[in-house]
Structure 1
């Protein structure tokens, strides 16, 4: 997937061969295989992020990684496009996120309740204000997923700096500065869309040693995407709780003889604690009380040891 540029493809002007060799000597064309892995991780993350935003099936793929000067990047930008400029660790400078108009409009229509099979993308020379706003939201979400994807080379913290539509205003490096460009295709709601990540080589300098060798595990304080997703889902889950005042044994013959109006003594002493149960397991001890509105309430007084069994079991090997 990595591509190396020839002298002909990188030269923005018709210069002599000697001048071109001197200019190219300032660039490093070493393969950075970790950018491929970061790109694949970004694809996996976007394949979860976009359906969460739009409630539509999405298929993303990593198309290409190549190296070219900023001038050539600007020349190849789609028009119009949302050009999001971001900064932050671990990059030493600005990076550029390019989102084409079909992706912005498709996401906007779906988030506003449009039907996937009724979308039509009309050509336009520029974005409306509402399209730009949704483009900014999409850029922020994509940058967060890129931040997570970078965990394979260390911790990352990216922040959207500005959103542009003028390519010249979105240039994140000098015209002859070498950049790494990752291209992605996104199929969503029957639309074929595109997204690009452009990182100047100078901005890669702090992590370039890590990009030259392949490893797949998270490093540093980088988060695990699936762990974060699972944690979020667990935190949003609901659980039924039961408050057990007391448990008593009653002969079956006595129960069979009960009738309306009979009084059952629960044998609860004043000040006795109740037990809070979850999934048929005791979780807390609680004291009974009454709120000012007249409702009965409980106050957690003790966390039962049963909650720690799972953690202790992991440490008994």
Structure 2
């Protein structure tokens, strides 16, 4: 029965939206690349996934002709090759960051050939991304990525027929107020080998191989998010008619006192009960207790 289902899936072809682990892996690639660049870059570099698309290899490479450096990567476990590419803006941005530029100079705009230094930087970057890809794919399967060669002509970035189908992930890199693009092209011939692994989202497959560096970076990113807090001393229900009848000077009577507990909310979600106070000429809140929705519901039923 398994052989029959495999043949049916092969005939239907590979659809990126049926490989839910692929976006997860590429997110890990972006996060890990940013983490790895901290060791070699003078300024922070931010990587993010722009898009994951599918199409013909030749058509995917054509826009980068004379405008990018590609690395052909060997993946022995897939008996296949992968294209890793850096566009001109990406290369110039990374080179400047690695050599301590602050972004004050105008970016390169000419179409000159890439220098020896820039090619060596691309070679080092390709090795770095290979390690990241190997580690990221380890969540679902064993895949060892190795640099085979570098190419500056897209015509020579051959990993099979140019009409063959492939999936491509595009990454945006941002640093010193500049940006560029990195792309990874995976032929269907290689993805076919790990289609079942990429199509599974069971907890055992993902949770058992968590990358502690990735988890730590995700936690750091979440904890740095800005959150607006709102302190509510008291609330009063009035009619729309009462509101329309109000005029300057009218007073709204509240039941709260300076000793009444203050409810602290974020995004309309109650978090804590606090005590209002004052120090250094400003109002301050002291967290007294965690807001318990179940307990508050019971209290409302009992009329407390």
So what's the TM-score if we normalise by structure 2? 0.61
Q: Distance in 2 between matches of 1:109 and 1:60?
A: 16
Aligned pairs (5 A) from 1:1-317: 27-29=13-15, 31-77=18-64, 79-118=66-105, 120-215=107-202, 224=211, 226=213
Figure out how many residues of one structure are paired with residues of the other and give that number: 207
Q: Which is richer in helix?
A: 2
**The structure with more radius of gyration:** 1
| Alpha-carbon spacing, 1:229–1:156, altered in 2? closer, same or farther (3 Å) | farther
Q: Distance in 2 between matches of 1:222 and 1:57?
A: 27
| Alpha-carbon spacing, 1:162–1:218, altered in 2? closer, same or farther (3 Å) | farther
Q: Note if contact 2:65-2:154 (Cα within 8 Å) is conserved in structure 1.
A: no
Q: Distance in 2 between matches of 1:177 and 1:66?
A: 14
So what's the TM-score if we normalise by structure 1? 0.59
RMSD of Structure 2 on Structure 1 (CA): 2.8
| Alpha-carbon spacing, 1:49–1:162, altered in 2? closer, same or farther (3 Å) | same
Aligned to 1:302: none
SS at match of 1:94: strand
- The Cα of 1:112 is off from its aligned counterpart by 2.5
Q: Distance in 2 between matches of 1:190 and 1:178?
A: 35
Q: Distance in 1 between matches of 2:149 and 2:210?
A: 26
SS at match of 2:189: coil
Q: Distance in 2 between matches of 1:78 and 1:190?
A: 25
Which blocks of at least 5 consecutive residues in structure 2 are unaligned? 1-9, 218-304
Q: Distance in 1 between matches of 2:205 and 2:147?
A: 24
| Alpha-carbon spacing, 1:28–1:227, altered in 2? closer, same or farther (3 Å) | closer
- The Cα of 1:219 is off from its aligned counterpart by 6.5
| Alpha-carbon spacing, 1:64–1:56, altered in 2? closer, same or farther (3 Å) | same
- The Cα of 1:225 is off from its aligned counterpart by 5.1
Q: Note if contact 2:72-2:147 (Cα within 8 Å) is conserved in structure 1.
A: yes
